[in-house]
Amino acid sequence: METVQVVIVGAGVVGFSTAVCVAEALPFCSVTLVADKFSPDTTSDGAAGILFAAEYPDIPLERQKHWFKDSFDHLLAIAHSQHSPEAGVMLSSGWQIFKEVPANKKPFWSEFVIGFRNMTDSELKRFPDHRFGQAFTTIKCECSSYLPWLEKRFREAGGRVEQRKVHSLQELSTNFDLIVNCSGLGSKTLVGDAEVYPVRGQVLKVEAPWLQHFIRDGDGKTYIYPGIHSVTVGGTRQDGDWRLQVDQGDSKSILERCSRLEPSLSRAKVLGEWVGLRPSRRNPRVERETVQLQGRRLPVVHNYGHGGWGVTLAWGTAVDALGLVKQCLQEMPPRAKL
Ligand SMILES: Cc1cc2nc3c(=O)[nH]c(=O)nc-3n(C[C@H](O)[C@H](O)[C@H](O)COP(=O)(O)OP(=O)(O)OC[C@H]3O[C@@H](n4cnc5c(N)ncnc54)[C@H](O)[C@@H]3O)c2cc1C
Ligand SMILES: *[C@@H]1O[C@H](CO)[C@@H](O)[C@H](O)[C@H]1NC(C)=O
Ligand SMILES: *[C@@H]1O[C@H](CO)[C@@H](O)[C@H](O)[C@H]1NC(C)=O
């Protein structure tokens, strides 16, 4: 019997999470991950990696809850294990603050994070421009450590890794029986999904070890996220902006906005600046289809378009994608089936 050859395109947090799920669950498949960029050069590498999410408009809330919960539980187990420092996964407590009481007073994920509650008036006193807030403990997953850790886990499960750019699905169809598409923003050109667009984000990494709590403005534009080696301060959300260069005006605005929330940041040393393009889409695409390539019908499982929440949802959508891969395998013609 032939071994089923599976290829995963993408080495960001979505690609490696999916690769680990597939390789560990389906040892009878041969799994190869192909990407042109690897850590530390993916979008995932610079993300703050805080677990948090916005609601996507057209995906049933139950499915989004599953994605969040599966991710949270997976990362919480890592945070509580000896792997925590190597994997770059830590617990993080703090506050999300709002200038006006939001229409949705309780986000859908509030039941999955730890100790979610409204902030008290005395906690809010230090934020005079804000009149409502939520306090909770969530997880911070730092992909510059997490990606190499996942890669190691993938290789231990028998996975193989290749560095190259994929120019068309065609070129994968000769060597593989099933394609898993985790190419993020690359999907735009790879198969021409016009729905995918960049949302530019700029952040600074600063040295401020005295800061131990996150602060996030509910508008999503201003945040302070303490991490293992530095504090990430941000940010920007610029729709359709492809510029990867650091913008000094953005850096200045970020530091001003963040210092208003946390005055001690004026004493912090700037360690670096970074720009990433969130692979955005109205809804992330986690679904399967069959494509016809040179007379061969090839199953493709898509998993891309996570926008600003790819670190949060990576494991949950990977579990979902694994389910789709299993469905594809069941429907394969007997020749290719084990
Ligand atoms: C400033 C900023 C802060 C963020 N903060 C958070 C946060 O706190 N929490 C959170 O959950 N998310 C956050 N995000 C969002 C998060 O970074 C993304 O959602 C996530 O990184 C997407 O992961 P991905 O694996 O889909 O894409 P990527 O990390 O972009 O990986 C895409 C992969 O596909 C490969 N690829 C693409 N096209 C091809 C091709 N044709 N051939 C070969 N390989 C290809 C690339 O080389 C790469 O390996 C943030 C983003 C930014 C910019
Ligand atoms: C939190 O605050 C909101 C808005 O004022 C209110 O509707 C809600 O009942 C509060 N929740 C709790 C648990 O007090
Ligand atoms: C990934 O999906 C996008 C959008 O449909 C498509 O353009 C691209 O060709 C796909 N890539 C692979 C490897 O399936």
The three-class DSSP label of residue 25 is: helix
Per cent of the chain over pLDDT 70 is: 96
State the pLDDT at residue 186.
82
Ligand 1 contacts CB of residue 304 (under 6 A) = yes
Indicate whether 338 pLDDT > 80.
no
Distance 201 CA to ligand 3 centre (A): 24
Q: Is 131 in the pocket of ligand 2 (CB under 6 A)?
A: no
Answer yes or no: is pLDDT of 248 > 60.
yes
Mean pLDDT to the nearest integer, 87-109: 95
What lies within 8 Å, CB to CB, of 54 at 6+ separation is: 220, 308, 309
CA dihedral 279, 280, 283, 286 (to 10 degrees): -10
| Ligand 1 nearest-atom number relative to CA 312 | 11
Q: Which two tokens stand for residue 28?
A: 């009878």
At 191 the pLDDT is 56
Is any atom of ligand 2 closer than 6 Å to the C-beta of 118?
A: yes
pLDDT exceeds 60 at position 10: yes
Domain boundary assignment for the chain: 4-91+142-196+281-337
- Tokens in use for 292? 């016809």
ω into 40 cis (within 30 of 0): yes
Q: pLDDT per residue over 116-136, tens digit each? A: 999 999 999 999 999 999 999
- Answer yes or no: is the C-beta of 44 below 6 A from any ligand 1 atom: yes
Mean local confidence (pLDDT), 25-30: 96
75 lines ligand 1 (CB under 6 A): no
Residue of the CA atom closest to atom 19 of ligand 1: 310
Instruction: Kindly give the distance from the C-alpha atom of residue 190 to the centroid of ligand 3, in angstroms, as a whole number.
Output: 5
Average pLDDT value for residue range 173-190? 85
Find, among 5, 11, 56, the residue nearest to 161 by Cα: 11
Counting ligands in written order, the one closest to the CA of 183 is 1
Could you read off the pLDDT of 219-230 as tens digits, one per residue? 889 999 999 999
Among 8, 14, 231, residue to substitute to test ligand 1 (most atoms within 8 Å of Cβ)? 14
Tens of pLDDT along 271-290?
999 999 999 999 999 999 99
Question: What is the distance between the alpha carbons of residues 126 and 113, in angstroms, rounded to a whole number?
Answer: 24
CB 287 within 8 A of CB 305: no
pLDDT of residue 337 exceeding 50: no
Mutate to test the pocket of ligand 1, among 278, 283, 303 (most ligand atoms within 8 A of CB): 278
pTM attached to this predicted model: 0.96
Centroid of ligand 2 to alpha carbon of 105 (angstroms): 7
Question: For residue 29, what is the enclosing H or E element?
Answer: strand 29-35
Q: Which residue would you say has higher pLDDT here, 208 or 294?
A: 208
Domain 4-91+142-196+281-337 in this protein, CATH class: alpha beta
**Ligand 3 binding pocket mutation candidate from 191, 196, 281, 306 (most atoms within 8 A of CB):** 191
Asked whether residue 158 carries a pLDDT value surpassing 70, the answer given is yes
User: 168 pLDDT band (50/70/90 cuts)?
Assistant: confident
Each residue's pLDDT tens digit, 53-94: 999 999 999 999 999 999 999 999 999 999 999 999 999 999
Which has more confidence, 220 or 190?
Answer: 220
Q: What is the pLDDT of residue 190?
A: 57
Instruction: Name the pLDDT band for 295 (thresholds 50, 70, 90).
Output: confident
Write the DSSP symbol of residue 327: H
Given a cut of 80, is residue 2 above it in pLDDT?
no
